[in-house]
Structure 1
Amino acid sequence: MARNLLKNPSGEEQMEFWELIENGGSQWRVEEMPGDCGHDFGDDGIKTYFATSFEACLKRQVVDLVAEGYSPEDLDGQPAVTVEDWYCGRTDCGCTYQLTVCLLDENQEELEKFQPDQVTLDPDSDDCSWKQVTHTFSEYGEGLRFISFEHGGQDTRFWDGWFGVRVTGSSVTVEL
């Protein structure tokens, strides 16, 4: 089984290893499952999540594949790269969620990008339970050396505090 290349995918180490791209409102924070007006995750191994605020909160991690032990030759064979993320909203406030994952070459220039449409969760029409997004890259060409994983969002009512989207269980795997 391929290993998760993201460090601190669920906030066990607070914000360690994540670059804060946008840290608006009350800023990012880590909370324990299920949190106020939240849902259990369903995996006992995941006990925390990242919570966003009333202004945009985006964080990123860039994985250096060569530093992680992959040879340029193996990477030029275009192995499958699978990304996964879990997100949910609160049952009392709407939120938005977004994800952008880019495969990058040695100069960190984009080879391929996965960027699904922004999701809006509304507790009046959605149960706001944990949802998974997953994508597998293939046939993206030679030159892969880095992977940029960026996600986040905010609440839709601009309430002071941490009422925005919650994210956890993020992963990036390379299948050789």
Structure 2
Amino acid sequence: MLMTTIFKKLLSQFVFNNQKNLNMSSDDIPIEGNGNVIFGCEIPDEILLQIFENLDDYILVKYVPLVCRHWHEISKTWHLWKARFIKRRNIKVSKGRMDRFLSSWDNPLVVATVQWLCVNSDRKPVNFNILKNPSGEQGFSHWKVQHGGDNLIVEETPNGCDPIPEETGLPTQHCFVSSYALCRRSQSVSLYRDLGFKPFVLQVLEPSLIISEWVSARFDCGAQSMIQVSVIGKKENPTVFITRWKDSDFGRVEWYKMWKKVNYEELPDGMHTIHFKNLSQDTQFWAGHYGAKTAGSSVVLDISTD
């Protein structure tokens, strides 16, 4: 508490009362008064690091570097940001990426990327599903739907097949249910607008794309389902990834996970938008809702594995 109070007073003195500092470049930051002397007391770097480790990410990125050249250098050290990864933010980053961050820490874009991850961690841009309403708990909210047959519907509990298993990690038993003609639902995510990504962040992180969805069929009717994910980048035509399921290949009643991992090298340059589409129906042309049941539609930008 005492250290935090001292810091706030010092920060107010150096920054908030000197608004021109906000427009400074790193070369303009004053060298004199190296920041280790606070109200006449010399503070070791180890103590400053402990204070910095407990500050809000935004303050650490936006204001601390402007106090003086010494604080600017300390606020960008690998030790500080690695500690924030491990101790405070629980951001899971693969060993390969962590090693790459360390070896490239003299690159300002790498530093900015790690800082961006911490500042934006509450938005869950990586290692979490970026699709909303993945199982229909909110009806068709966030989905664009093209109905076929007797329309796509949502069941609160799946009829005619096994319950959704616990291993899915889904919080409810809701699922989308298709009909005798093709039912489509789609959702687009802008990596820049919706998740706050910067182009350089994606280039530094090199995330993999993990696409998945759980699917099942009734005991008394055949069904099929397909995931089609389009990744839009610099080129006019998107890069499309597809995974399919059919009851004749995998069986009915039980739930099966459609899954595909796309490495970063396979993704288009300058990717900025991801478009997810599910296409489902039955295979016997029965009136009603005897088509494929789907839940847990998921697209994850993964940095937890190499």
Structure with bigger RCO (C-alpha 8 Å, 6+ apart): 1
Give the C-alpha shift of residue 46 in structure 1: 2.8
Give the C-alpha shift of residue 108 in structure 1: 7.0
Residue 84 of structure 1 pairs with residue 212 of structure 2? yes
Higher strand share: 1
Give the C-alpha shift of residue 175 in structure 1: 2.5
SS class of match (1:12): coil
Offset from partner CA, 1:99-132 (integer Å, 9 cap, x none): 111211267741x32113x432149x82331100
Query: AA paired with 1:24?
Result: G
Give the C-alpha shift of residue 135 in structure 1: 1.4
**CA root-mean-square deviation:** 2.1
- The 8 Å contact of residues 106 and 146 in structure 1, kept in 2 or not, is answered as no
Offset from partner CA, 1:40-72 (integer Å, 9 cap, x none): 111261320000001110111111111212211
Match of 2:188 in 1: 62
Match of 1:51 in 2: 177
Give the C-alpha shift of residue 142 in structure 1: 2.2
SS class of match (1:45): coil
- The 8 Å contact of residues 19 and 59 in structure 1, kept in 2 or not, is answered as yes
Match of 1:149 in 2: 276
Q: Which among 207, 229, 237 is matched to residue 101 of structure 1?
A: 229
Q: Which among 134, 146, 150 is matched to residue 9 of structure 1?
A: 134
TM-score by length of 2: 0.52
Q: Which has the larger radius of gyration?
A: 2
Identity of aligned residues (%): 27
Q: Distance in 2 between matches of 1:65 and 1:84?
A: 18
- The 8 Å contact of residues 51 and 163 in structure 1, kept in 2 or not, is answered as yes
Q: Distance in 1 between matches of 2:235 and 2:192?
A: 13
Higher helix share: 2
Aligned structure 1 segments of 4 or more residues deviating by more than 3 angstroms: 106-109
Structure 2: unaligned runs, 5 residues or longer? 1-91, 93-126
Q: Distance in 2 between matches of 1:37 and 1:148?
A: 31
Match of 1:133 in 2: 258
Give the C-alpha shift of residue 164 in structure 1: 0.1
Give the C-alpha shift of residue 89 in structure 1: 0.5
Offset from partner CA, 1:117-159 (integer Å, 9 cap, x none): x432149x82331100111222124211111111121111111
Query: AA paired with 1:56?
Result: L
Residue 38 of structure 1 pairs with residue 166 of structure 2? no
